[in-house]
Every structure is written in structure tokens, then in C-alpha cells.
Amino acid sequence: MAKYKPTSKEELQNLVNDESIYLGDIDTSAITDMSELFKESKRKDFSGIETWDVSNVTNMKFMFAGTTSFNQPLDSWDVSSVTDMSLMFADAKSFNQPLNSWDISNVTNMKGMFAHATSFNQPLNNWNTSNVAEIRGIFMSATSFNQPLDKWNVSKVMDMALIFKDATNFNQNLESWNVKAISAKDMFESSGMQSLPSWFNKGFQKINGKYKPTSPIVLKVLAFDEDVSLADIDTSAITNMSELFKESKRKDFSGIETWDVSNVTDMSSMFENAEYFNQPLDNWDVSSVTDMNSMFMSAKSFNQPLNNWNVSSVTDMQCMFAGATSFNQPLDKWDVSSVTDMGLMFSGVENFNQPLNKWNVSSVTGMTGMFKRAKSFNQPLNNWDTSNVAHMSLMFSDAASFNQPLNKWNVSSVINMGHMFAGATSFNQPLNKWNVSKVLSMKNMFEGATSFKQDDISSPEYKKEARMKKQRANTKKIDWKYRTSTRFGTILVSFLGGGILVGGLVGFFLTLLIVAILKYFGVAYSEELFFTIWAILIVLSIVGVFYGIKGDTYCESCGNYFCWKLVKTELLSENIITQDEKQSDGSYRRVSYKVGEEKDYYRCKRCGRNESCVREFKRRI
């Protein structure tokens, strides 16, 4: 029976530090962590350790590291619960015992496990390495090791750097390895390998002073290594540079301007979130590139000329400069005639304000959020051929400076204009020539567009509404939050909300007429929209189109329009919620919002009448 039964690592550590205690007298069945237990230990007698119950241990990191005299058999140990064996026998220069019977199926980290274990040379080919993700430097400088490893499953390993570096005796066939690693730098440097596996790309070695990678994986490894000068990389064989510097912390990009990118077709997310990148690229030949989606997304330092680029083959520019807050360079020479998607292209590019009116956007179908939060942008776009665009939702949302004519646009193919000018506080241009017959959503199209006041009071629709105001006086009162939605919204909601309560025979027949029209088309349709010629033929979500345009409603007391002034807003309730939102790249991000209710107080500037409304809000934090 064991004399000692420690319940914590600290208790066990004190026991093994006492060389007068026989290790076989220690019951280790309650221990889960043995990391660094004998690290650099000067103990000479390890007898009895082979009897230990390690079935509950999960961590053996550094367990015998630097223990130069340790060489006790451990093959009977049950290590099935262990997940971390990194550097377990590192620098254990005397250790050379069988371990092939170990069940390591739960181990994920074996980094440097036998590094500098100069005596170790035991079979390990029976090991189940299917869950191992980290083996960097596992046999580095293990100068005696030369055992078959061809049965190992290394499919989850992403970093193979230094595995056999300076393992001078190692010379085994590894052709069977299913390699998906993105890093294999110096994997076989100064090893005993007579020939390299076919999967090992020789791009890691310099030829005539240049690295010549032929695969994106090898190029990415080199590009992330700040010890490698980008000027020393020959990229002429590369066709895919997607995500090459994504989230890179590299600070020195000098030499990248000399790269041959003439064969590259994919540059999507190439510099996404590369916070220090700001190198000139205007000499690049990008004529073969078809995908520039998110290329400079959130590259917050980037602000270099690109106007010389030949982008005539590019079809996708979605999110290309999104969040690149410093960027403000001319792009007017670009041939974008092949581009089909420009969604969010300049979203959040706060400083961008360059002319784009010469662009041929006739192939573009998606412009969702294109200038969203582009707070400085205010350039003419009226010459654009938008006849094929289907999506314009959020296009100028929160583009606070934008106020340019758009009345020449052909929007006959657009199906979504939701939030298109929401928060565009400067915008006030006529749109009465637009054909919106295919639009399915105009939800909150002008919400918060506080300057927008376009109307033709001579229109028949305007006059017709004036004739109907007496009927509305007898209608059941409608909540003010609906009556802030243009005169069309007022009339429609008044009739539908008041229903049969509309006073008088005329009101009854008018209600039947509206119901009949709605039933005929199957959607909300009316000729009461105040734009002069803007014929609403199919609108499914018209409620809220002009929500937030203060003062654009009818006062029943004095009979005037456009006379309401916001006096104050009172916060009634507020809470914080979080939710996962899908991003443009398909990933999900946790987003927080403030939600609640506010009460707005209005006063008629003509007669002094007071009104109020309670509305809900949802604001991103």
C-alpha cells in the first residue's frame, strides 16, 4: 500500500523533490496535472515511477524537460487522458525507453516533445496522432532518432516547422503523410533526409538568392515570416493570393511593390485587417485578377495610388475598401465594366471623396451599402448606368455629406431600397423620375434623412389629399409614429386603421376603393405618394419609407403641411441586447444594440398645436 496519496500538484511536487522518498510509495491516482513535475530535476533515482497511476492526468507538459539523468521505463502508463505532451522529454538527454504502446489518441499538442533528446531512438509508429494539431520541432536535434513514422495521421497539423531540424540521423519515407500544414519552414534543415517528400515544396529554399514558391501555402509561410524580405520572393508562379496577409502583424512590407502578380487571379481579402500595410502597389500588373473582394478591407493604414491598375477582368469588388478608413485616392481611370458586385465597396471609408462618375457600372447588380458610412463622400454619380442593379439597400446609409443628383438613374431593375438614404443627413435631391415598379422593399428608406424635403405641391395627388382632410378629421385617431411616414402613409394608414369608422358615405366608398386596389395588386399600392411622377406600382413594405423625416405631416388644426417641429425627445426605457450577425465574408460577429422606447414631442410652427408619439429604437453600440 502506498504511503503517500497527494491530492494536488503542489503536494506531489513536494514529495518528488524529497529524494529520500521512494517514488513507488506515492499514489498519484488523484492527480490531473504533472506539468514540469521533474523539469531540470537533479534527482538520480526514479525507480518506482513506472508503477504510477496516471490515468487521470491531462497535462504532462515539460514533465521531464532538462532531466538529464532520467531513463526509466514508462510503457505501462495509461496516458489516454493526456492532451498536452509538449516538450515532455525535451533535453532529457539520457532517455531512451519504449513508448509505442501508449494511447495518445487525445493528445493535441506534442510541440518539441523529444527536442534535444539526443539518446532517444524508439519506435512510435503505432501512435494514433489523429487529434494532434501541434508538432513543431518535435524531433529537433534528436540526433539519434531514425524510426518510421509513415503511419502517422498529421491531417490536423498546421505548423510543421523545425520538426526534423538538426535530426542528423533521420532518414525515413514520409510520402504517405496527408499534409495540410501552412508552415514547414526549416522542417528538414540539416536533417539526415536523403530525398524530400513530394509534398514538401522546395519554395522554402532559396534558389539564386530568391524564394520561388509555387503554392499559396508556401508563399503565406514566407510572407508571415518577418525575417524574410518580401523582395526576396519570386511570385511569378503564384495564381492565388487570397488572404495572403489577412490579419498580418507584419510591419515591413518593403519589396512587395516589385512582385510579379501577372498570373494572379484571386486577391480576395489579401490585405484584410493588415493594420500596418501602406506600401505602393501602382506598378502591379493585375490584369488577370478576377476577384478583389475585401482586398483592403479594414486595412486602416492603407492610402496609396492605384489608378494605374488594369482591373478590366475583375468581377467582384464587394467590400474591397470597406473599413479602410485612411484611403482617399483617385480611382476614376479604372475600367470596372466587368464588375457585377460593388456591395459595401466603400463602406466605412470615412475619408474617401474621389470622383467616380466616369465608371461604367452597367454590369453591376449589387450596390448594397456601397457608400454606407462613407462620411466624406460627395461626388457626382448621375452618369452611372444602373439599369442592371437589383440591390440598393443601405447604399448611402449614414453617408452624411452626400447630396448629389441621382434623378438620371435607371432603377427599373431594383428590388430593394430599404434604408437606402437612412441617416444621409445632407441628402435633398429630386428622385421623381425614378421608375420603382419592381421595388419590393423601401423599409425606412429615408429614416433620419433630416434634410430631405422633396415634393411638388402642384401635383394632383397633393391637391386630392387636401380635399380629403375633412374626412380624416372624422377618422379614428392614428398613432403618431405612423403619421410621420409621408402623406401617402398618413392616408393609407388612416383608411386601413380607421376602416369603416371613416365618417360619411364618401369615406366608406374611398375605403372600399383602396381595399379593392390592394386586393387587385396583392400589395400596398396608391397614387397618393407625394413625388410628382414617381408612380408606385408595386410596393410591399412601404410603411416606414420616410420614417424619421421630421415635419413632413399634416396638421389638422391649421390645415398646413410641413409644419411640425421636434421640440424634445424623452427616453422612456432602454436595454442592451447582443446578437450574432452574419458578416459579408460569411462569418458571424457578436454585436450589441441599445433598444427601447423614446417619446418625441412636436409643435406645429403655424398654430402652436402640440403632439407626441412613442417610438421604438434599436441602435448599434
Question: Could you report the per-residue pLDDT of 392-445, keeping only the tens digit for each?
Answer: 999 999 999 999 999 999 999 999 999 999 999 999 999 999 999 999 889 889
- List the one residue out of 146, 150, 154, 80 whose CA is nearest residue 114: 146
As a residue count, the chain comes to 621
Residue 63 has pLDDT above 60, yes or no: yes
pLDDT for residue 199: 66
- List the one residue out of 352, 355, 317, 351 whose CA is nearest residue 336: 317
Residue 233 has pLDDT above 80, yes or no: yes
Contact between residue 556 and residue 531 where contact means Cβ atoms under 8 Å apart: no
- Can you state the angle between helices 486-498 and 460-473, rounded to 10 degrees? 40
Q: Which residue has the cell 411616414?
A: 485
Which segment of 40-49, 89-98, 433-442, 542-551 scores lowest on mean pLDDT?
542-551
Pairwise pLDDT comparison (407 vs 585), residue with the higher score: 407
Which segment of 56-70, 197-211, 422-436 scores lowest on mean pLDDT?
197-211
Residue 155 has pLDDT above 70, yes or no: yes
DSSP state of 230: G
CA atoms within 13 A on the CB side of 255: 13
What residue ranges do the domains of the chain occupy?
A: 206-321, 564-620
Neighbours of 76 (CB within 10 A): 10
Buried b (16+ CB within 10 A) or exposed e, 515-529: eeeeeeeeebbbebb
The neighbouring-strand residues paired with 573 are 597
| Degrees, nearest 5: CA angle 441-446-450 | 175
Q: 505: which residues sit within 8 A by CB, 6+ positions away?
A: none
Give the CA dihedral 526, 531, 533, 535, nearest 10 degrees. -30
**Helix (H), strand (E) at residue 491:** helix 486-498
Residue 299 has pLDDT above 90, yes or no: yes
pLDDT for residue 311: 98
The neighbouring-strand residues paired with 619 are 594
Pairwise pLDDT comparison (398 vs 208), residue with the higher score: 398
The C-alpha atoms of residue 282 and residue 392 are separated, in whole angstroms, by 31
pLDDT for residue 3: 87
Q: What mean pLDDT is predicted for residues 262-287? A: 97
DSSP state of 515: H
Backbone angles phi, psi at 258, to 5 degrees: -95, -5
Buried b (16+ CB within 10 A) or exposed e, 328-362: bbebeebebebbbbbbbbbbbbbbbbbebeebebe
Contact between residue 427 and residue 451 where contact means Cβ atoms under 8 Å apart: yes
Residue 240 has pLDDT above 70, yes or no: yes
pLDDT for residue 341: 96
Pairwise pLDDT comparison (177 vs 469), residue with the higher score: 177
Q: Which residue has the cell 441586447?
A: 577
pLDDT for residue 555: 58
Helix (H, G, I), strand (E, B) or coil at 593: strand
Sort 168 into a burial class: Cβ within 10 Å, 0-12 / 13-18 / 19+.
Answer: middle
pLDDT tier for residue 171 given thresholds of 50, 70 and 90: very high
Contact between residue 144 and residue 119 where contact means Cβ atoms under 8 Å apart: yes
DSSP state of 294: T
pLDDT tier for residue 538 given thresholds of 50, 70 and 90: very low
Output the nine-digit C-alpha cell for 437.
Answer: 415598379
Alpha-carbon distances of 10 from 14, 33, 56, rounded to whole Å: 6, 10, 16
What spatial distance separates the first Cα and last Cα of the chain, rounded to whole Å? 63
Residue 530 has pLDDT above 50, yes or no: no
Share of the chain above pLDDT 70, in %: 79
Q: Which of 72-86, 208-222, 458-472, 489-503 has the highest mean pLDDT?
A: 72-86
Strand 564-582 relative to strand 210-211, pairing: unpaired
- Can you state the angle between helices 460-473 and 504-521, rounded to 10 degrees? 120
Residue 391 has pLDDT above 80, yes or no: yes
Q: 6: which residues sit within 8 A by CB, 6+ positions away?
A: 12, 15, 26, 27, 28, 30, 31
Chain-wide mean pLDDT for the chain?
A: 82
Q: What's CA 297's distance to the chain center, in Å? A: 9
Alpha-carbon distances of 435 from 191, 343, 412, rounded to whole Å: 72, 22, 5
Backbone angles phi, psi at 466, to 5 degrees: -60, -35
Q: What mean pLDDT is predicted for residues 485-511? A: 36
Q: Please give the full DSSP string across 182-223, using - where no structure is assigned.
A: SB-TTSSTTS--SS--TTS-GGGSEETTEE---SHHHHHHHH
pLDDT for residue 487: 32
pTM: 0.52
Q: What's CA 592's distance to the chain center, in Å? A: 16
Residue 528 has pLDDT above 90, yes or no: no
**pLDDT one-digit tens code per residue, 18-47:** 999 999 999 999 999 999 999 999 999 999
Q: What mean pLDDT is predicted for residues 77-100? A: 97
Q: Please give the full DSSP string across 243-263, using - where no structure is assigned.
A: TTTTT------TTGGG---TT
Pairwise pLDDT comparison (122 vs 453), residue with the higher score: 122
Residue 561 has pLDDT above 70, yes or no: no
The C-alpha atoms of residue 241 and residue 293 are separated, in whole angstroms, by 12
The C-alpha atoms of residue 187 and residue 398 are separated, in whole angstroms, by 51
pLDDT for residue 78: 97
The C-alpha atoms of residue 126 and residue 151 are separated, in whole angstroms, by 7
The C-alpha atoms of residue 336 and residue 313 are separated, in whole angstroms, by 8
DSSP state of 4: B
Output the nine-digit C-alpha cell for 49.
Answer: 515511477
Alpha-carbon distances of 373 from 321, 377, 416, 457, rounded to whole Å: 12, 9, 19, 32
DSSP state of 580: E
Residue 496 has pLDDT above 90, yes or no: no
The neighbouring-strand residues paired with 599 are 570, 614
Q: Which of 415-424, 524-533, 575-584 has the highest mean pLDDT?
A: 415-424
Residue 550 has pLDDT above 60, yes or no: no
